[in-house]
Structure 1
């Protein structure tokens, strides 16, 4: 295998799996919340806390305490500060604002559309903060991606509401988190980094859940619901976030974030399979535009890696 192509292949495999797992979290989470009546913040906090503990415990048992202790530039304090900030932005911030958006009347499809404008905001931030210049090809690929997401999910009147503002703040949280991840080094692996940020982010959601007086009896979860909950912990949390931070290292912030346009596409496909949502022409056209958008991103990435 050509050495120059292997990092690209590794990146493509990891980022595609990331988007598949992220996309699967929407219909599985919707099943628990809508059909098993699970409170969103409480079930979300359990999901992330358990996932984080499993990842950190695995590292502790296999590699020891030194590998599980977060450090940045050799400093324990800096390491804890970094994982706390990322956990509160990536997990707590994004998920809380997404739930607040829907609580304020924003439809789930519009929430997804606004959340996944993230690559556009990141491209602007990366231009100034990461020296990853914003050019017309990147702009065109991002524009095609956003149009594709809109066609897949469909616009509605809730686009102009307080809920839309909350969803936009959630999208900004994700973008800022990505910039911090690229600018501040973390001494341990992406696996350990993911474990800490999921655990801390989950604890943040749990505190909010307690403040809202959410409670739930696990006996209300049916067999399919238990499958959904386990899926949310393993592939949709450990898998998606672990591969996401790995993809950031492999492909860069702009390239990795551009592939997030695939998440609503996969989410819609999984919803059609599992929740019997209807197929639409908009999904077909939107999917084609998203693939075209990613083709432009992939071409740009290939040129950068070959230069």
Structure 2
């Protein structure tokens, strides 16, 4: 009786990290279209700096307000959080906004979330930090095949400018994969809010340094109101809220599992890009999206499926020792 009562209560915490990551993926998906609007009004370096400068300030204020609920992380942890922030905030978003200035937002919403899990898994396997079943590998390959179908359906401009933008997105995906792996070790025993604030603030400062030379190139009085509205949204939603939820999720799931969930970002990114930017979306792209989701699901649940398949079936009279 006790076991039946306690099991439902234990299920909720197990699902919470994935719910945190799902909220993050929705926010990340919206960031492609929103950032594209800002890049159209100012240099990509300045757009990135405004997004994460504002997000970093917001997180620092939030950490100060909730100071009594979150213990200090210490100087050493703050330094490590800052270094990871330079990778996951500065480097990644430099490539992210640069790619948006060259290629459609749809390209970025496919390339970054599809390649990141593949690069993360490959790195973890090379370092022998994780094991991947055949089902999980198959899921990653299926997800990649779905991305290829999506891109084939996109068609459109094949100029060198778009190709360069896609290659820049690939560099961003590599930065995000490395960021996910390093964040897992960084977060051990650390409060997520203060860790997020430190990482985002330092990364945002790095972007401000990169953007400083472009300040004179911006016609500030001519920046339209919708662009400023998107800057505020990016600082609050896809930055402060999303990074906090992402840190929370990474505390309890593996880096590869977390980045595999980024396969859902193309769905959200495509939706926002289609609705707000009027970018093309065809039946072939829809088919590719469905294939990607199937691959992501298999990649996430692959190890579980293999373990269940390999588990021996017991005869009615057999006994099993239960380990609590």
Shorter chain as normaliser: what TM range? 0.7 to 0.9
| Alignment of 1:281 onto 2:283 | yes
Q: For 2:256 and 2:70, locate their aligned partners in 1 and report how far apart those are by CA, in whole Å.
A: 32
| Alignment of 1:226 onto 2:228 | yes
Match of 1:299 among 298, 301, 306: 301
Deviation at 1:277, TM superposition (A): 2.4
Give the unaligned 5+ runs of structure 1: none
Q: Is residue 39–residue 216 contact of structure 1 (8 Å, CA) maintained in 2?
A: yes
Deviations 1:207-263 (A, max 9, x none): 111234554354434343333222111111112111112121222211111011221
| Alignment of 1:31 onto 2:33 | no
User: For residue 63 of structure 1, what is the aligned residue in structure 2?
Assistant: 67
Q: For 2:214 and 2:244, locate their aligned partners in 1 and report how far apart those are by CA, in whole Å.
A: 30
Q: For 2:10 and 2:243, locate their aligned partners in 1 and report how far apart those are by CA, in whole Å.
A: 26
Radius of gyration: which is bigger?
2
User: For residue 125 of structure 2, what is the aligned residue in structure 1?
Assistant: 127
User: For residue 51 of structure 1, what is the aligned residue in structure 2?
Assistant: 55
Deviation at 1:162, TM superposition (A): 5.6
**295-304 or 241-250: bigger deviation:** 295-304
Q: Is residue 143–residue 292 contact of structure 2 (8 Å, CA) maintained in 1?
A: yes
User: For residue 206 of structure 2, what is the aligned residue in structure 1?
Assistant: 204
Q: For 2:22 and 2:303, locate their aligned partners in 1 and report how far apart those are by CA, in whole Å.
A: 15
User: For residue 241 of structure 2, what is the aligned residue in structure 1?
Assistant: 239
Over 3 Å counting, the alpha-carbon distance change for 1:18 and 1:302 in structure 2 is: farther
Deviations 1:177-207 (A, max 9, x none): 2111122345432122121111111111111
- Partner-residue secondary structure (3-state), 1:173: helix
Q: Is residue 148–residue 286 contact of structure 1 (8 Å, CA) maintained in 2?
A: yes
Query: How many residues align structurally?
Result: 298
- Partner-residue secondary structure (3-state), 1:2: helix
- Partner-residue secondary structure (3-state), 1:134: coil
- Partner-residue secondary structure (3-state), 2:251: helix
> What value does the CA root-mean-square deviation take over the aligned residues?
3.0
TM-score of the superposed pair, with normalisation by structure 2 = 0.80
| Alignment of 1:10 onto 2:11 | no
Q: For 1:90 and 1:54, locate their aligned partners in 2 and report how far apart those are by CA, in whole Å.
A: 18
Deviations 1:136-186 (A, max 9, x none): 212111122222233334477459966555433322221112111122345
Give the unaligned 5+ runs of structure 2: 1-6, 312-324
Q: For 2:33 and 2:166, locate their aligned partners in 1 and report how far apart those are by CA, in whole Å.
A: 21
Q: For 1:141 and 1:89, locate their aligned partners in 2 and report how far apart those are by CA, in whole Å.
A: 27
Q: For 2:73 and 2:199, locate their aligned partners in 1 and report how far apart those are by CA, in whole Å.
A: 10
Over 3 Å counting, the alpha-carbon distance change for 1:111 and 1:66 in structure 2 is: closer
Q: Is residue 150–residue 286 contact of structure 1 (8 Å, CA) maintained in 2?
A: yes
Deviation at 1:285, TM superposition (A): 0.5
Q: Is residue 36–residue 105 contact of structure 2 (8 Å, CA) maintained in 1?
A: no
Q: For 1:53 and 1:224, locate their aligned partners in 2 and report how far apart those are by CA, in whole Å.
A: 21
Deviation at 1:289, TM superposition (A): 0.9
